[in-house]
Amino acid sequence: MVIHEYYYTEEKSTLHVEFSTEEDGDNFYRVLDIEFDSIEYYSPTIISEHDILDIDEEFVIELLSEYLKENDLPERVSL
């Protein structure tokens, strides 16, 4: 998994992630917006809204890995 971009929007309490999987190669990427309640649920560690502002790419990969165990991948978007 390759994370292209991620940021947290405090107004919406949403983490926006643009990423690609190995099957996407260099031609596609995917976009996922995860609400804070889901971030708390799927997070590999206990996290608060204050902590979410300091997350790193490793955390995002772990979060997506857990999230995608129970949810489908979002649609592919062409680069």
Give backbone dihedrals phi and psi of 39, rounded to 5 degrees, phi first.
-60, -45
State the amino acid at position 37 in one-letter form: D
pTM, 2 dp: 0.90
Q: How far is CA 10 from CA 6, 19, 40, 51, in A?
A: 13, 21, 15, 12
- pLDDT score, position 4: 94
* pLDDT tens digits, 26-70: 889 999 999 999 999 999 899 998 899 899 999 999 999 999 999
